[in-house]
Amino acid sequence: MVLTMILTEGHCAPEETIWEVLSVMEVYHEMEHSFSGELRKLLTQDWVQENYLQYRQVPSSDPLCYQFLWGPRALIETSYVKVLEYAARVSTGESISYPSLHEEALGEDEEGV
């Protein structure tokens, strides 16, 4: 779902937005999970270290702000289309439709992005 949020935010999602959307799903950064430990650490360190995500400071931000981007390993192991299709399958009750993103994703997947 994090990759979907990054994609729908224009390939770069503010950290604050990620946590806001996850909180709607009752997933909070201070939560501990038996399989992943602390979620903030999972996103900002573990998945960054494994190259699934990039976590960058927003240039010239005051106060300091950070953003997430797809990491190189995510780009290799999945595609924009697959992530959008997954998001559509797991959406509960709400119809998720991103036709313009789907068109863009298809084009980028064909180009090998």
Domains of the chain, residue spans: 2-111
Model pLDDT, residue 93 = 46
Spans of the chain below 50 pLDDT: 93-95, 113
Write down the pLDDT at residue 76: 95
Q: Which fold has domain 2-111?
A: Arc Repressor Mutant, subunit A (1.10.10)
> What predicted TM-score, i.e. pTM, was given to this entire model?
0.74
Q: Give the integer Cα–Cα distance in Å for 108 and 62.
A: 34
Go through 67-99 and write b for each residue having 16 or more CB atoms within 10 A of its CB, e for each that does not: bbebbeebbeeebbbebbeebeeeeeeeeeebe
The reported pLDDT for the residue numbered 33 is 62
| Gap between the Cα atoms of 42 and 108, Å rounded | 28
pLDDT at 32: 67
Q: Which residues pair with 56 in a beta bridge?
A: 67
User: What single DSSP character describes residue 35?
Assistant: T
Task: Tell me whether strands 66-70 and 13-14 are parallel, antiparallel or unpaired.
Answer: antiparallel
Six token digits for residue 77:
């192991």
* DSSP symbols for 56-68: EEPTT-SS--EEE
pLDDT value of position 11 = 92
The pLDDT value recorded for residue 91 is 72
Residue 92 has a pLDDT of 58
